[in-house]
Structure 1
Amino acid sequence: MARSRSMQASGASLAPWLGISLIVILFDQLTKIAVTRVFSYATPYVVTPFFNFLLIFNRGAAFSFLSSASGWQRWAFTGLGVVAACVIVSLLKRHGNQRLFCTALSLIMGGALGNVIDRIVHGRVIDFLDFHVGNWHWPAFNLADSAIVIGAMLLVLDELRRVRGTR
């Protein structure tokens, strides 16, 4: 009976965090569907003097790391994303009461799984956000990447708060 209650509490505390990840995945995939239907590949659509929509495909990881490899990287990065999601779910189960920490992990997991879906379905990640200054362009990215970066920044903030005792 006591074990059943602890499992229920654990499952209940996991739901909001999985919900955040699911929202990230849904928005990520919906924007990628829209972009691939509206924009032509590698043709910039100028929005502001420093931002374009630019549909490109990335077979590698961040900053096109290993994008020119022979294809093994698709499955390696897919596996890495799945393993990361499993580790994150374990951490969410153990630390479900730490809101900032779990929010950060949920964003990272949603972003990782959004890109895993791309790798499985398309064999590459769909990127379309292109920021630039003059002719210097930041590597194009997507909403999944944004969620991962925001999650990472929240992890740093959580750790700084923990170290300073202001949690």
Structure 2
Amino acid sequence: MMSLFKQTGLRWLWLAALVILLDQLSKLAVLQWLPFGYPGQPLVPYINLVHVYNKGAAFSFLADQAGWQRWFFTLFALGVSGALLVWLRKLPAAARWSPIAYCLIIGGALGNLIDRLAYGHVVDFIDFHVGQWHYPAFNLADSAICVGAVMIVLEGLLFRRPQQAGDKPS
């Protein structure tokens, strides 16, 4: 079993665990020290610390629904994480870019999943703004998912394998 982790992309799972840990610790701090609905404390220019809940997904997608979305997003997070684990297992130990991207997404998905199961919603606390325009509040798990997704897109655009003789042109 241990050789499976050393010889595949699964060796990067520590990164997913780190994302989950940092995400949950940051959310616990917000829950402990900021009242719900906290209007915002400037952290650095363009970023405020807030305390809001999201019952939906990114950009509060489906947040206004009756509650079924909690279970839909729970199953979705488990399905995506499971698929990424299968792909991690197929990657060689020398691979870096893809396993890091996959583990960031797994960590973020499971970090938000913990919130959904524990509270029925996701705790968000980062408010990025420019002037009066505010991006929807987010958290560290959301950030990890976005960074992982961007890495996958960049890999597809920048690191395509060279076309082999006999390959069909795309």
Is this a same-fold pair by TM over 0.5?
yes
What are the superposed Cα offsets for residues 14-39 of structure 1, whole Å, 9 maximum, x if unpaired?
54321110000000000000011111
Between the aligned partners of 2:130 and 2:158, the Cα distance in structure 1 is 34
Between the aligned partners of 1:96 and 1:53, the Cα distance in structure 2 is 40
What are the superposed Cα offsets for residues 66-98 of structure 1, whole Å, 9 maximum, x if unpaired?
001000000000010011111010000001432
Percent identity between the two aligned chains? 44
Between the aligned partners of 1:39 and 1:21, the Cα distance in structure 2 is 26
| Count of matched residue positions in the alignment of Structure 1 and Structure 2 | 159
User: 1:51-70, aligned counterparts within 5 Å?
Assistant: 51-70=47-66
Between the aligned partners of 2:5 and 2:54, the Cα distance in structure 1 is 36
Structure 2 spans left out of the alignment, 5+ residues: 163-170
Displacement of 1:46: 2.0
Query: Structure 1 length normalisation: TM-score?
Result: 0.89
Going from structure 1 to structure 2, the CA distance change for 1:8 and 1:52 (only over 3 Å counts) comes to closer
Query: Structure 2 length normalisation: TM-score?
Result: 0.88
1:45 and 2:37 aligned: no
**Which has more helix, going by share of residues?**
1
Q: Which runs of 4+ in 1 moved over 3 A?
A: none
Structure 1 spans left out of the alignment, 5+ residues: 1-6
Quick one: which of 115, 118, 121 aligns to 2:115? Answer: 118
> What amino acid is the match of 2:69?
Q
CA RMSD of aligned residues (A): 1.5
User: 1:12-161, aligned counterparts within 5 Å?
Assistant: 12=6, 13-43=8-38, 44-97=40-93, 98-161=95-158
Displacement of 1:49: 4.1
Q: What secondary structure does 2:50 align onto?
A: strand
> What amino acid is the match of 2:17?
L
